[in-house]
Amino acid sequence: MGEPLPVVVGLDVGGTTCNATVLDAGGRFLVNRLVETPSRVAEGPDVTVAVLAAAFAQVLELSGTPRTAAVAVGLDTPGPASADGVLSSRGATNFAGPAWRGFDFRGALERAVGLPVTYLNDANAAALYAHRQHFGADAAARSSVAAIVGTGLGGGVVEHGRVVTGAAGQAGELGHVHIPMQGLLAPDQPLPHCNCGFAGDAESVASLTGIANNLLPYWLTHHPDHELGALPIAEAAALVRGYAEKGDPLALKVFEQQAMALGRLFTVAANVTDPHAYFVGGGVVETAAHFRDWFLARVREHTVLREEQAAAAEFALVPDLDMAGARGSALAALITVTGAIPDA
Ligand SMILES: [Zn+2]
């Protein structure tokens, strides 16, 4: 045995858990499962950064890699945050409390582990992982967009194998792109509003928040005897997918509108970056195969591509969503170190 290959560690940090992985310089993930620890966000930044430093050491040990082989760390978190990993001064849903406002997450982790840290938001990291898994050795020559439907609608834009981050770190915020509502909404359906302040953006329809605030309250008025009407709206919203899997007409209306919103969003992307691939991820596709396939087919159907684009483009799912953030942030760190996206 010679010297171990240099490695990078990916750390995906959310409001409840941290997930860690190890990627070697040859492009191989050395951990094949979810390695999670509680992120202890409620106890403040110092505690969470200490948790991350411990997770860093633990995942290296788990992969049988000496600490000295680690050359960089990739960090991803939910936003909003700047391009270099400073959380918004206005606060972030997953990092509540005054100590988190304006917190330099990337800088603090860099000091804690003594290695360079690359930062991405969680949706960007998942988009990068989806891109590399899908295209493999061709990743550096391809482009993609990814939409990840969760509480909000996360997104990522990848060009030539690299995440487009933008001047302020806010590129790829696909959820807040305005989409045409004509023909998407029913004639008497109110214009949906998003938590960002916009009306009629993609997230106002294609997110769990959009179901709770906009879609479900409307569709319940057309199905007054539906059993979901008896529950608090947030609780009912989380159950809609289960109903849709069973073919419930109200739930299918909700997801038909979400698929149409994603299709219209991808139609915008088709005219902006004209990507090779469109990825859909999140709870909406982490589901029964028949429903997932129906949903992806509907998204595709509602994406208006020119003939040449339709021949060139692919539609696919974001794979391994629970590990995609950690793996994508590890890829970003390796790209920073080596200057190239590793072959699969
Ligand atoms: Zn919005």
pLDDT, one tens digit per residue, over 182-213 is 999 999 999 999 998 999 999 999 999 999 99
Percent of the chain topping pLDDT 70 = 99
What is the whole-number distance in angstroms between the Cα of residue 325 and the centre of ligand 1?
Answer: 22
The pLDDT assigned to 285 comes to 83
Gyration radius (Cα) of the chain, Å: 20
What is the whole-number distance in angstroms between the Cα of residue 192 and the centre of ligand 1?
Answer: 10
What is the whole-number distance in angstroms between the Cα of residue 40 and the centre of ligand 1?
Answer: 28
What is the whole-number distance in angstroms between the Cα of residue 233 and the centre of ligand 1?
Answer: 20
Q: Is the pLDDT of residue 178 over 90?
A: yes
All structural domains of the chain with their residue ranges: 7-128+322-338, 137-319
Domain 137-319 architecture: 2-Layer Sandwich (3.30)
List residues, by chain if needed, whose CB lies under 5 Å from ion ligand 1: 176, 194, 196, 198, 201, 203
Q: Is the pLDDT of residue 1 over 60?
A: no
Domain 7-128+322-338 architecture: 2-Layer Sandwich (3.30)
Q: Is the pLDDT of residue 161 over 60?
A: yes
Q: Is the pLDDT of residue 165 over 80?
A: yes
What is the whole-number distance in angstroms between the Cα of residue 19 and the centre of ligand 1?
Answer: 27
Output the 3-class SS for the chain. CCCCCCEEEEEEECCCEEEEEEEECCCCECCCCCEEEECCHHHCHHHHHHHHHHHHHHHHHHCCCCHHHEEEEEEEECCCECCCCEECCCCECCECCHHHCCCEHHHHHHHHHCCCEEEEEHHHHHHHHHHHHHHHHHHHHCCEEEEEECCCEEEEEEECCEECCCCCCCCCCHHHCECCCCCCCCCCCCCCECCCCCECEHHHCCCHHHHHHHHHHHHHHHCCCCHHHHCCHHHHHHHHHHHHHCCCHHHHHHHHHHHHHHHHHHHHHHHHCCCCEEEEEECCCCCCHHHHHHHHHHHHHHCCCCHHHHHHCEEEECCCHHHHHHHHHHHHHHHHHHCCCCCC
Tell me the per-residue pLDDT of 72-119, one tens digit each, with 9 for 90 and over. Answer: 999 999 988 998 999 999 888 889 999 999 999 999 999 999 999 999
Tell me the per-residue pLDDT of 244-286, one tens digit each, with 9 for 90 and over. Answer: 999 999 999 999 999 999 999 999 999 999 999 999 999 888 8
What is the whole-number distance in angstroms between the Cα of residue 196 and the centre of ligand 1?
Answer: 4
The pLDDT assigned to 2 comes to 63
What is the whole-number distance in angstroms between the Cα of residue 169 and the centre of ligand 1?
Answer: 16
For the segment 44-51, the average pLDDT, to the nearest whole number, is 97
Q: Is the pLDDT of residue 5 over 90?
A: no
What is the whole-number distance in angstroms between the Cα of residue 90 and the centre of ligand 1?
Answer: 16
What is the whole-number distance in angstroms between the Cα of residue 240 and the centre of ligand 1?
Answer: 21
Q: Is the pLDDT of residue 3 over 80?
A: no
The pLDDT assigned to 169 comes to 81
What is the whole-number distance in angstroms between the Cα of residue 259 and the centre of ligand 1?
Answer: 17
Tell me the per-residue pLDDT of 111-142, one tens digit each, with 9 for 90 and over. Answer: 999 999 999 999 999 999 999 999 999 999 99
> CATH topology of 7-128+322-338 equal to that of 137-319?
yes
What is the whole-number distance in angstroms between the Cα of residue 162 and the centre of ligand 1?
Answer: 24
What is the whole-number distance in angstroms between the Cα of residue 205 and the centre of ligand 1?
Answer: 10
What is the whole-number distance in angstroms between the Cα of residue 80 and the centre of ligand 1?
Answer: 12
What is the whole-number distance in angstroms between the Cα of residue 177 and the centre of ligand 1?
Answer: 7
For the segment 307-329, the average pLDDT, to the nearest whole number, is 95
Q: Is the pLDDT of residue 341 over 80?
A: no
**Whole-model pTM?**
0.95
What is the whole-number distance in angstroms between the Cα of residue 194 and the centre of ligand 1?
Answer: 5
For the segment 57-83, the average pLDDT, to the nearest whole number, is 95
What is the whole-number distance in angstroms between the Cα of residue 287 and the centre of ligand 1?
Answer: 25
The pLDDT assigned to 90 comes to 87
